[in-house]
Amino acid sequence: MEKQKLIRTMQVFDEYERRFAEARLKRKFNINKTDDEKEEVREKVKEILAYDEKLLPEIRDMREVSRMEFSGYSVTQLTFSTWEGVHSAASLYMPDAEGPLPLVFLFCGHGKVGRLSPSYAFMAHRLVKLGFAVIVPDNIGQGDREFMGHWDSVGPFWCGLTLQGMIVMESVALIRHMRSDKRFDKGRFVACGNSGGGTLCLLLTALAPELAAISASGYPSEFEYIFSKERKHCSCNLLPGIMKGPEMWEILSLFAPKPLLLEQGELDHLIPNEYAQRNARKVRAVYELADANDNFDFKTTGEAHAWKSADRYIISSFLAKAVGMPMPTEENDESDEILASLDASHVTLPSGALTTDAAAEMLTGIKMPEGTRLSDIFPPKYNTRPLTESEIVPDLGRGDVMKFLAQMECALEK
């Protein structure tokens, strides 16, 4: 390893640390927001996501692929289209009860098989046994949509979109679509999500007024902490210009005075408890100022990042209370019957369906050159000038240094 390159690499990282600190220093503190200031935060969220109401898809051709019957409820596998050439899958859990029913949108994180990850299936089964209807969609490029591309997709950024923005737009479209279904009580639509699903739920506090209550876990903390990490991020976690935008607590606070739960595992190695606690303190203050303190809660468990039975009990209790459903019992909600059912729950989506990058190109009319990397879209800088790979050490033991720097540049851009 050339010593001069190592020194330069250390200098580059140090400059990014300073730029992050400078971005935080320039943020104004505004806890008691006026309606105009709240709308300013909301519009900034849309800008960062490249969220555009005109680009929201129409949910079409929703149909049943298969169904399983359980004691007191059924689970149906669905497919549907969003944008032209873009296909999705979801699981719909329906209790044997008369409607209209409260509906939970259960949003997944990065489980290996998306909506069919055991942790989410256990949560859905727990909720449906309480009398909720539950819909669990696969996000773009996850679960049965894995073929689309997700983890390293850069097409949305090249085209002026974001992968997370596309996920949010699909999710908002699905929420609105389900409001027309007479089986469900549109006044009792709620959402919960963990990890990447917690990211989505955080953003929906600003962009989904159709929801009556939201629980977000495994993500709410601070953007500064998340994006200063010297590790590879999934593409859905990249938010251009977020360090010059609102912090998480400001976005979450837009949901006040409606019921909001932030839930966190104390042993979560991805989201340290201290950052989650600090974020929660700020959100709670906003709820107190709105005379809605009873509608906000922050709970922790002794678990790690993934939902376990203790997490699911806290979240299901919150959702049940929010919409007047029977409270759950504190029991182990894992069963071999549920696990066995997951293998038969996969669906095959149409051949020729668009990839994530192709969908972004279709929506914008912009073509991405082959071989485009994140560092081509967000070129790392040092002393205000573009940095070349030849100037730095390519790998310090955790992966591609240029990619890490491009992620940081993305957060600071705009």
66-90 pLDDT per residue, tens: 999 999 999 999 999 999 999 999 9
C-alpha closest to that of 126 among 56, 178, 73, 184? 73
How far is it, in rounded angstroms, from Cα 228 to Cα 231? 9
Residue whose token pair is 């773009």: 140
Grade residue 112 by pLDDT with cuts at 50, 70 and 90. Answer: confident
Q: Taking 70 as the threshold, does the pLDDT of residue 409 lie above it?
A: yes
179: tokens are: 């409001």
Neighbours of 181 (CB within 10 A): 15
Q: Taking 70 as the threshold, does the pLDDT of residue 1 lie above it?
A: no
**DSSP-derived pairing of the beta strands 133-137 and 101-107:** parallel
Chain region(s) in the chain for CATH 3.40.50.1820: 47-357
Grade residue 111 by pLDDT with cuts at 50, 70 and 90. Answer: confident
Read off the pTM: 0.97
92: tokens are: 């719909």
Rg from Cα positions in the chain: 21
Contact 133, 125 (CB under 8 A): no
The confidence score (pLDDT) of residue 292 equals 97
Instruction: Name the DSSP letter for residue 400.
Output: B
Please give the residue that has the higher pLDDT: either 204 or 414.
Answer: 204
Name 177's Cβ contacts closer than 8 Å, sequence gap at least 6. 58, 59, 62
270-321 pLDDT per residue, tens: 999 999 999 999 999 999 999 999 999 999 999 999 999 999 999 999 999 9
Instruction: Name the DSSP letter for residue 272.
Output: -
- CATH architecture group of domain 47-357: 3-Layer(aba) Sandwich (3.40)
Neighbours of 25 (CB within 10 A): 7
Mean pLDDT of the chain: 96
Q: pLDDT > 70: what percent of the chain?
A: 100
3-state secondary structure 162-226: CHHHHHHHHHHHHHHHHCCCCCEEEEEEEEEEECHHHHHHHHHHHHCCCCCEEEEECCCCCHHHH
